Chain A
Amino acid sequence: NAGVTQTPKFQVLKTGQSMTLQCAQDMNHEYMSWYRQDPGMGLRLIHYSVGAGITDQGEVPNGYNVSRSTTEDFPLRLLSAAPSQTSVYFCASSQTWGFEQYFGPGTRLTVT
């Protein structure tokens, strides 16, 4: 099993550009989440999904969109990048919501 994979590993965007961060898992987990990690702030939940076709907002959803058309994939879209979105983004999946999560390797995004 590859577990949770994320692409790209690094990305630099200019303010106003849009892009999609990809996330896939091969563990047949129903639950998937996107977090951002900023120094001194731990991990903050952006959006999550409890199954294909069902998504919801987390703690910091503004400026991000998600969709979940399959169990395996959970892409995160930045609609119009801003410098405040410079961060490391982690995708995670879990068998049961709120319990053990399996994290991807992360995407380091810089917005200039």
Chain B
Amino acid sequence: AQSVTQLDSQVPVFEEAPVELRCNYSSSVSVYLFWYVQYPNQGLQLLLKYLSGSTLVESINGFEAEFNKSQTSFHLRKPSVHISDTAEYFCAVSGLIQGAQKLVFGQGTRLTINP
């Protein structure tokens, strides 16, 4: 079976502070990894993805995530957050299970930025 665990349901931080949102997965196959962001009252949109190659991937708004195969993790980081980063963040893993690509989402982490 394939599963995703986001270790924190809520993360409050102050503006301009660094943040890390943790994501661990379990899978018996090679995986592709994604982070999606959901701003208030909107749908999800892709923030960044790891398919292959460099284990460190970056988004255009300063977030980065590192694929760690040995620890089966894909934590999301930003060195200095802004009020506009307030949103819910979902980690997702995609793997080939019984001949079909299966995508599973984590439970979400609500990031709240305080001024």
Contact = CB atoms under 8 A, between A and B. Distances in A.
A104 to B, nearest CB: 5
Interface in A71-98: 90, 92, 96-98
Interface stretch (B39-47, B52-60, B72-80): B39-47
B105 A43 contact: yes
Q: Which DSSP category, helix, strand, loop or mixed, fits chain B's interface?
A: strand
Contacts of A43: 44, 90, 105
B60 to A, nearest CB: 15
Interface in B27-50: 32, 34, 36, 41-46, 49
Q: Which DSSP category, helix, strand, loop or mixed, fits chain A's interface?
A: loop
A106 B34 contact: no
Interface string B81-112: 00000000010001000001111011110000
Contacts of A34: none
Interface in A34-75: 35, 40-45
Interface in A1-55: 4, 35, 40-45
A90 B44 contact: yes
Contacts of B103: 45, 98-99, 101
B107 A103 contact: no
B46 A100 contact: yes
Interface of B: 4, 9, 32, 34, 36, 41-46, 49, 90, 94, 100-103, 105-108
30 contacts: A40-B9, A40-B107, A42-B4, A42-B90, A42-B106, A42-B107, A43-B90, A43-B105, A44-B105, A90-B44, A92-B44, A96-B101, A97-B100, A98-B32, A98-B94, A98-B100, A98-B102, A99-B32, A99-B94, A99-B101, A99-B103, A100-B46, A100-B49, A101-B44, A103-B36, A103-B43, A103-B45, A105-B43, A106-B41, A106-B42
